[in-house]
Structure 1
Amino acid sequence: MTNFQRLKELTEELQESANYLVDIFQKVKSTGESEDFYEVVRPYANKVADWNAEWKDLAEEWVKTEKPLYLHPSQISTASDHLEVISIQAFFKETSKKRFLDSAKSVQFILQTVLDRL
């Protein structure tokens, strides 16, 4: 598998994860019950962190070499950072709604832009 194919695959996986995290966040907010950290949050966040680390490396390299329109390495880095944060915050009722949704929308936008440019 080429780096290009792997980047596309990881971007799609992370996009699904970002959408899932928004759904989880809305569920947690509506029920008022946080998820168990060790049984639910940690395993999911670790899985996303693994994908995210690989994605960030591939995406930054791709942006530097291909120079796609409207994408810069700093945006990849920011999306990666936001993704790490929301992959944990989504599961807790104390999370700020505006901050979470702004971060999630930012991640979703960058992931979609990467897919569009690929």
Structure 2
Amino acid sequence: MEYEQLKDLTCQLLKLNRQAAKVYQRCRETGEKGDFYTQVKPFADQVKELSEKWEQEAMLWVHTVKPDNLFPIQIKNTSENLQMVSVRAFFPDTSFKRFTNHVRSVEFILERVLENITGKPPGAH
């Protein structure tokens, strides 16, 4: 299948985005911040590395395939939002509305990328 690496990276980032949402929910419930060196940094570093690879692959794909309703600025913003979410998830004082909006936005774009690559609607992957 074409764009297999982009598909794999997109799936990995969807999982990490959902994991960040769970971490944030736990931090809000307990009121405890994540430890920077044992939790925040390793998670954020993993997301940063994958999202940068994903952004490169996705930009090439967008410029080549020109999918409907997906544009380079959305790819760039999604990568940046993922990196922000990966850090802010560990802080219970993070704005709920803002954090949730970023998570949903990231989820939406990642699902559109997968849908365009695979030809299947979200959830059917």
The TM-score bracket by the shorter chain reads over 0.9
Match of 1:12 in 2: 11
TM-score by length of 2: 0.91
How far 1:93 sits from its partner (Å)?
1.1
Which residue type is aligned with residue 73 of structure 1? P
Match of 1:99 in 2: 98
Please list every run of 5 or more consecutive structure 2 residues that lacks an aligned counterpart in the other structure: 118-125
- What is the SS of the residue equivalent to 1:7? helix
TM-score by length of 1: 0.96
Please list every run of 5 or more consecutive structure 1 residues that lacks an aligned counterpart in the other structure: none
What are the superposed Cα offsets for residues 53-90 of structure 1, whole Å, 9 maximum, x if unpaired?
00000001100110111100010001011001000000
Match of 1:59 in 2: 58
Q: For the aligned residues, what is the CA RMSD?
A: 1.1
Structure ranking higher in helix proportion = 1
How far 1:3 sits from its partner (Å)?
6.9
For residues 4 and 54 of structure 2, the distance between their equivalents in structure 1, rounded to whole angstroms, comes to 11
What are the superposed Cα offsets for residues 29-76 of structure 1, whole Å, 9 maximum, x if unpaired?
011111101111001100110000000000011001101111000100
Which residue type is aligned with residue 34 of structure 1? K
For residues 87 and 14 of structure 2, the distance between their equivalents in structure 1, rounded to whole angstroms, comes to 16
Aligned ranges for residues 1-118 of structure 1 at < 5 Å?
A: 4-118=3-117
Which residue type is aligned with residue 4 of structure 2? Q
Stretches (4+) displaced over 2 A: none
